[in-house]
Structure 1
C-alpha cells in the first residue's frame, strides 16, 4: 500500500507538471498512468504488487466508476438531452448495440469464446470516452454538433451499457445462480435511490429553512453523491445506475448545485480515474500481453477499426453529417474508462472465464489508449481553418482552385 501511494503521488505530480504540454501534443496523462502502472507492476520492476482479488482493486474500481458516472450524468440533464438528442440518439440507439453485437461476433468466431462471454466482452467495450480524445472534443474549430455528439454520447453510453454488463456477467456466473427478479430489483432500486435522494436534497435546499453557504456549496454535490453511495450499499441497490441517475437528477432539478460542484466533482473523478488506470496498468504483465496470441491482437484491432466504424456508418446513414465528421465520430470511439473498470469488475467476479475476458479486454483498452490519445491532436487539426494551416498548404489549395476555374469546360 505504501509503494502504491508513493507511486500515485509521484505520477500525479509529474502529470500536473506535464499537463500543459499534454494539452498541446500527443502526450496523454491517461497513457502516462497506464504505462507507469505496467512498469511498476509485477510484470516489470515489481515495485507495486497487486493481485486481481485484492480488496483495493475492487474498491478503487467501484469508487472510480461511481464518481465517473455521477459526473457524466451531471453533464447530460434532461434539458441537454432534449436539446441535442437527434445526432447522439443515433449513436446511442443504433451505434451502441451494433458495436456490442459486432464486437461479440468477433470475440465468438475469432477467439472461440462462448456466446455469453462474447456478449460480455461486447458490452464492456461498447462505451466510449472522449477523455482519450480530448483535443477533438475541446477544439472550438471542430464543428459544435460533432463535439456535442461525442460529449453526450460518451456521457450516456456508460450508463446504458451497464445493465448489459451486469446481465451477461450474471449469466456467465451460471444460469442456476441467475435470478432475473433479484437482478431487476437491484437495478430498479439503484435508479430509485439515484433519483429520490438528489431530488429531495435539492428541494430541501430550496425551502426557506435550508440554504447552503457559498463556502459549502461545492460540497453539496459531494454530500449527495456520498449519501447515494451509502444508501445503495446498505440497500444493495445497483451503485452505478444510482450514480448515473443521481447525476442526471442534479443536472435536471438543481442547476445551481450542478454549477457549483462541476469543477470540484470532475477533479475528484479525475483523481480516481488516474488511480484506477495505475492499478489497471499494474495488473497487465508481459505474460498477459503474450498469452492472448495473435488472435487476441487481431481481435483488438478489429474492435477498434471495424466494430465502431461500421456501427457508426450504419447509424448515420442520411443524417447530414459530412464524411469527415462521420470518420471522426467513427474513429474516436475509444474504449474509455468505464471499460477499464468493467474489466476490473469481471476480473474480480470469480466467473470461470474471468481471466480470459480480462485479457482480451485489457489488450483492446491498451491499444485504444495508445492509438486514440496519440491521434486526437492530428485529427482535430484537420478541422482547422485555412488560415491556421501551413502557408504552403493554403497557397497550394488556392492554386488548385484557380486551375480548376481556368480549365476549359
Structure 2
C-alpha cells in the first residue's frame, strides 16, 4: 500500500504541474492515473486488487459515488434541464431506458451463464456516461453548443436516474439477501427511494435556506460557503442510510434542491471545493481501476465479453439516442454526435466495484471484465475518436456554408 500511495501521489503531482500542457495534448488525469495503476498492478499482482474486494472498499466506493452524484447534480448549467430542456428530456427518459434495455438484451445473447438480474446490473454499469476521461469534449467549440449542453445535462443526471435501478437489480442478484423475486426486491427498493427523496429534498432545502440567511447577515466566510457543499452530500447520504433509505438517490436529490434554492453571488466559486474533493476521490478510483484491471485481465477474456463491450460503447448508445431524438430540431449529424460522444468513466467504475463486492464466482468475474474492457475501450475510443468526430463535423459544416455562399441560387 505504501508503494501505491507513493505512486499515485507522484503521478498526481506530475500531472498537476503540467496540467495545461497535458490538456493541449488531450491527456487527462484519469488516463495518467490509470497507467500508474496498471504499472503498480503489474508489480504487485493480486495483492492490491484483493484489498478492493472488501467491505471497507465497498463503503469507500459508496461515499465516493454519493459525492459525485451531488457534484453532477449541481454542475448542470442553464436551468434544471439546461438550455435544451426538450432534448434533455428525450435523452434522459427515452434514450436512457432504451439503452438499458438494449444492453440487457445484448447481455442475454453474449454473456451466458448469468441471470437476468445480474445482466440488468451490468446494463446499469455500462450505460451511464462520464466525461472525466475526455473532459475536453465539453469545451471543444467545434462541437455544436446545444450538443455539448445536452451531453452536460445527461452526464449530470443519468447516474442519479440509473442508481435506483442498479440497487434494485443488485439486491435481486445478491444471493445473500432475502429478495427472491422482482416483486420483493421492488418492495424493498421503492420505500428506500421514497425515503431518500424526502431526506435529500429536506437536507438540500434546509442547508440552502440556512446558507442564504447566514449570507444576508454576513455570518459566512468564503471558505465556509464551500464547506457547506462538502457537508451536504455526506449529511444527506448518512441520514438516508440511518432511516433505511437509498443514500445515492438522497445525495443526488440534495444536490438538485441545494443548487436551485441557494442564492449565491457566485455558485461556481462555492462549488470549487466539493469539485476538487470529488476529483481527488475519483483519482483514487481510477488508480484502483488500473491496479485491478491487470489482475482481472490475467484470467483471460471471452470473445463474447469483448463483443458485448464493443456494442455497449457503440450500438447500445447510438441507436437509442437516434430513436429518442426523432422529431427533435437536432440535425442527423448532431444526433450522431450526441450518441457517439458518450464516454464511460467514474460511474461505471464505482458501480462495477459495488457489484464486484456483492456478486460471487462467475458473475463477479464477468462484471470485472465488463468494467475493465468498457472503461479502457472508452478511454481509447473516445480519446481518439471524439476530436476526430469534432473535426469532421466542423469541416463538413464549413463546406456546407461555403457551398451556400457560392451558390447564386441561394
Q: TM-score, normalised by structure 1?
A: 0.88
Structure 1 pair 298/199, CA: closer, same or farther in 2 (3 Å)?
Answer: same
Map residues 94-109 of structure 1 onto 2, 5 A cutoff: 94-109=94-109
- What residue is the counterpart of 1:147 in the other structure? 148
CA distance in 2, matches of 1:377, 1:22: 15
**Cα RMSD for the two superposed structures:** 2.9
Structure 1 pair 405/198, CA: closer, same or farther in 2 (3 Å)?
Answer: closer
Residues 1:346 and 2:355 aligned together:
yes
- What residue is the counterpart of 2:133 in the other structure? 132
Q: Deviations over 1:144-171 (max 9, x none)?
A: 2111100001101000110111111111
Indicate conservation of the 8 Å contact 1:77/1:249, yes or no. Answer: no
Indicate conservation of the 8 Å contact 1:92/1:153, yes or no. Answer: yes
CA distance in 1, matches of 2:132, 2:125: 17
Alignment equivalent of 1:46, drawn from 44, 47, 70? 44
Indicate conservation of the 8 Å contact 1:74/1:258, yes or no. Answer: no
- What residue is the counterpart of 1:86 in the other structure? 86
Indicate conservation of the 8 Å contact 2:107/2:308, yes or no. Answer: yes
Map residues 14-33 of structure 1 onto 2, 5 A cutoff: 14-33=14-33
Structure 1 pair 386/105, CA: closer, same or farther in 2 (3 Å)?
Answer: closer
Alignment equivalent of 2:379, drawn from 342, 349, 369? 369
- What residue is the counterpart of 2:242 in the other structure? 234
Structure 1: gaps (5+ residues): none
Q: Deviations over 1:245-274 (max 9, x none)?
A: 111011110041843422222111111111
Q: Which SS does the other structure have where 1:237 is aligned?
A: coil
Q: Which SS does the other structure have where 2:79 is aligned?
A: helix
- What residue is the counterpart of 1:318 in the other structure? 327
Structure 1 pair 214/135, CA: closer, same or farther in 2 (3 Å)?
Answer: closer
Q: Number of matched residues? A: 397
Query: How far does residue 366 in structure 1 lie from its aligned partner after superposition?
Result: 1.5
Indicate conservation of the 8 Å contact 2:82/2:88, yes or no. Answer: no
Query: How far does residue 71 in structure 1 lie from its aligned partner after superposition?
Result: 0.6
Query: How far does residue 304 in structure 1 lie from its aligned partner after superposition?
Result: 1.2
Task: Pick which of 340-349 and 176-185 moved more.
Answer: 176-185
Alignment equivalent of 2:225, drawn from 217, 220, 227? 217
Residues 1:280 and 2:289 aligned together:
yes
CA distance in 2, matches of 1:11, 1:311: 38
Task: Pick which of 332-341 and 244-253 moved more.
Answer: 332-341
Indicate conservation of the 8 Å contact 2:82/2:153, yes or no. Answer: no
- What residue is the counterpart of 2:278 in the other structure? 269
Indicate conservation of the 8 Å contact 1:75/1:248, yes or no. Answer: no
Structure 2: gaps (5+ residues): none
Structure 1 pair 328/133, CA: closer, same or farther in 2 (3 Å)?
Answer: farther
Q: TM-score, normalised by structure 2?
A: 0.87
Residues 1:243 and 2:251 aligned together:
yes
CA distance in 1, matches of 2:290, 2:258: 33
Q: Which SS does the other structure have where 2:27 is aligned?
A: coil
Task: Pick which of 365-374 and 152-161 moved more.
Answer: 365-374
Residues 1:182 and 2:188 aligned together:
yes
Q: Deviations over 1:16-65 (max 9, x none)?
A: 13321332223232122122212211xx1118723142345323322221
Map residues 304-315 of structure 1 onto 2, 5 A cutoff: 304-315=313-324
* Structure 1 runs, 4 residues or longer, greater than 4 Å off: 383-387, 397-402
